[in-house]
Amino acid sequence: MNKRILAIGVVVMALLAVLPAAVFAAEGTLTAQGDGRAVVRGSGEVSAITGTGKLVVKDFNLTDAVINVTCDGIVTEVTVNGNTRKYVCRGSYTGSISGANVKVKAVGTEIDLTATGTGIARLRGEGTYEFNGETGEWNEVEVTITIG
């Protein structure tokens, strides 16, 4: 009996780990505020982002990302042929990022972002979001939003 309950519990936990709380697919703009982890990947613009913790920006095309971020902390940059491949801020940050095939990952507190374009956003922690007039909450179960 205990083994059966344990097996059912493991299956339920596995499903909760992979099933998003919400999935949206449409053109529009995503705004999100909260504490935890916010990841946006695709083509377009994160027109405003602020937070405290760690911000990681990766340009998978190596040539077109525009990273305008002010970091009150430690900055690490990896460049390839003079182009920023990876930008990391550990501390408080504010700014904007744009480009094709770019990943923006914010981990920490007081995350506030606005993203427009095509791609996917994953939110996990505690916060709220708005996408195409629909509002929701992000929590420990990851919320996945398809933009575009």
pLDDT digits (tens, 9 = 90+) for 111-143: 999 999 888 889 999 999 998 788 999 987 777
| Confidence band, pLDDT 50/70/90 cuts, at residue 6 | very low
121 inside domain? yes
8 inside domain? no
37 inside domain? yes
11 inside domain? no
- What pTM does this model have? 0.80
State the pLDDT at residue 18. 36
Q: Is the pLDDT of residue 98 over 80?
A: yes
Cβ-contact 43, 100 below 8 angstroms: yes
State the pLDDT at residue 7. 34
The model's pLDDT over 35-81, given as tens digits with 9 standing for 90+, comes to: 999 999 988 999 999 999 999 999 998 878 999 999 999 999 998 88
Give the chain's domain count: 1
132 inside domain? yes
7/73: higher pLDDT = 73
12 inside domain? no
Separation of alpha carbons 27 and 25, rounded Å = 7
For 75-99, what is the mean pLDDT? 92
84 inside domain? yes
| Confidence band, pLDDT 50/70/90 cuts, at residue 2 | very low
Least confident residue range of 20-24, 88-92, 134-138: 20-24
Separation of alpha carbons 117 and 56, rounded Å = 19
Domain residues for 31?
21-147
Cβ-contact 127, 37 below 8 angstroms: no
82 inside domain? yes
Three-state secondary-structure class, residue 9: helix
